[in-house]
Amino acid sequence: MIRKPMIFAATSDLSGKTRGKAFPADELNKRRERGMGWVPTNVQITCFDTIADSPFGSFGDLALIPDQSADVTVDFEDGTPPERFMLSDIRTLDGRPWGFCTRSILRAALLRLKELSDARLLAAFEHEFQFAGGSTLPYQGFGLQGHAEHAGFAETLSAALDEAGLRPDSFICEYGPDQFEVTVAPEEGVKAADAAVITRELTRMTARRFEQKATFTPIRDVASVGNGVHIHMSFMGDHGPLTYDAAGAHGLSPLTAAFAAGVLKYMDSILALTAPSVISYERLTPHRWSAAYNNLGLQDREASLRICPVTAKDPDAIARQFNIEYRAADAAASPHLALAAIVHAGCQGIEESLAAPQVTEEDLSLLSAAELEQRGFVRLPETLEDALQRFAANKVVTGWFDPDFAAVYVAHKTAEAAFVQDMDTAQKCAAYEDAY
C-alpha cells in the first residue's frame, strides 16, 4: 500500500488524555514554526468526550507546536506503519505559552524550583495497568506464569520504549488480577512527564498489537487494588545530587525536607489535580497500599509520600539513589499537571521555610480523628467533589496557575462527574476503564 508518513502533534490535556492532530512528516519544519491550529474549548473535552462549560465558547485560536526533542518514532516491524508522535506545546497566536498548556504549566513550576533552590528535578513514573481482556491464568500476583503469559508483550513494549529513547527499568506482574506495572528510568524536568505520556501510549499501542486493551483506570474493581501512578523525585544541582544529607533526619537534605513539608501541607488541595477522577477516591482508602493521609512514611507503601529505600553503600551512590515517592496520583491525571502541582507545593514549602515533616512508621488509620489532628495529619479528601472544593478554596494553590485556571478546571471536572453521577460504582468503574 502506498503511504505518506504522518506525525501526530500531541498534548496531554486536563482530562489526562493525549489529544492532538496529525500532519505530513515532510512538513515538520513548517509545523514547528506555525504549529497546528488548536481551539481553546478543546481543554473542556472531558475523558468521556463531553464538553464542559467553557469560557471560550466557539472563539479563539491557538497553535499546537510540535517539540522535536520529544519525538517518538517506533516501528513495531509488524507490517503496520511506524507510530509517530511528538509532544507539543500550546501557544497563543503571538507565541506565548497558553495558560492551559500542561507542559508550559510544568515548565513554569520547574523554573520556580530552579530559582528558589538552584535544583533541577529528576522524576520517574511507575505505572500500574490492567489487561482489560484478562489473562488465562488466575491468582498470579508476582507470578512467573503470569509474567510468562505476557512476556511477549513485555519484550515488545521494552523494545518500543527503547526506540522512543527511554530506558525501561522494570516490568512486573503486579498483585492485582491481570495487573502489571511498567517503569522507566528517571528523566529531568519536563522530559520526565513526557516519558510518562510516552510510556502510557506505547503500552496501549503494544497491547493493541497483542489484541489486548491496557487500561490505566485508577481502580477497576473496588473489591481489589487500584492502579497507582507513583512519582519518584530527586534533586540535582550543578555539583551533584541535592536530595540526601547524611546529617539530616532519615537522610533528608534541608531542600528535600522543606519540599516534602510543602507537598504534605498542600496535598489535600492538589489532590484534585493528581488523582482527578470520580473513582480515584475509591482507590485512596486505607489498606489498599495507596494513600489516605498527608504523611511522609519511611519505606511505607500506605504513605502518600514515601522515603524510598537505598541499596547503595558508598556515600556518592547513596546520594544518587535517594528519592522520595508521591503515591497519591493516578493515570487520570496528566503527568505534566500532576508533577507541576507537586513541584509548586514543594516550592511553597521551600518559600515558607517549613520544618522537616515528622516521619511515620505506623498505620495512621488506627488513630482517632482527634489524634490525627493533634499530630497534624489530615485524612485526604474522600470524594472528587471535596477535593475540588479544597483546591478551589485554597488561594495559595490556585495562585500558582493562570487566573482562569481553577474555574475552568472545576467546570471540566464537574462535567466529568455529571457523566457518571447516575451510575452505580461498578458502572462508574467500567466507564473509567473504557476512558483510560
- Closest by alpha carbon to 307, among 265, 263, 359? 359
Query: Furthest-apart CA pair in the chain: how many Å?
Result: 70
| DSSP tag of 169 | E
Instruction: Characterize the bridge pairing of strands 62-74 and 83-92.
Output: antiparallel
* Closest distance to ligand GLU from the beta carbon of 302 (Å): 9
- Closest by alpha carbon to 307, among 244, 262, 265? 244
Determine, following the binding rule CB under 6 A, whether residue 128 of this chain makes contact with ligand GLU.
yes
C-beta nearest to Mg ion: residue:
181
The residue range among 131-139, 142-150, 195-203, 220-228 that interacts with ligand GLU, by the rule CB under 6 A, is: 220-228
Determine, following the binding rule CB under 5 A, whether residue 181 of this chain makes contact with Mg ion.
yes
Instruction: Characterize the bridge pairing of strands 187-188 and 120-131.
Output: antiparallel
Of ligand GLU, Mg ion, none, which one does residue 289 interact with (CB within 5 to 8 Å by kind)? ligand GLU
Q: Residue for cell digits 483546591?
A: 391
Of ligand GLU, Mg ion, none, which one does residue 306 interact with (CB within 5 to 8 Å by kind)? none
Which of 189, 228 has the CB closer to ligand GLU? Answer: 228
Residue 298: how many CB atoms within 10 A of its CB? 14
The residue range among 59-67, 182-190, 224-232, 383-391 that interacts with ligand GLU, by the rule CB under 6 A, is: 224-232
Determine, following the binding rule CB under 6 A, whether residue 298 of this chain makes contact with ligand GLU.
no
- Closest by alpha carbon to 285, among 201, 228, 353? 228
Phi, psi of 235 (to 5 degrees): -115, 140
Of ligand GLU, Mg ion, none, which one does residue 225 interact with (CB within 5 to 8 Å by kind)? ligand GLU
Determine, following the binding rule CB under 6 A, whether residue 20 of this chain makes contact with ligand GLU.
no
Q: By the 8 A CB rule, do 119 and 244 touch?
A: no
The residue range among 17-25, 100-108, 283-291, 306-314 that interacts with ligand GLU, by the rule CB under 6 A, is: 283-291
How many angstroms separate the Cα of 134 from the Cα of each of 53, 85, 131, 143, 223?
A: 37, 28, 5, 15, 17
Given 43, 110, 157, 225, the residue binding ligand GLU (CB under 6 A): 225
The residue range among 111-119, 209-217, 221-229, 358-366 that interacts with ligand GLU, by the rule CB under 6 A, is: 221-229
Site of interaction with Mg ion (CB under 5 A) = 181
Site of interaction with ligand GLU (CB under 6 A) = 128, 225-226, 228, 283, 289-290, 301, 327
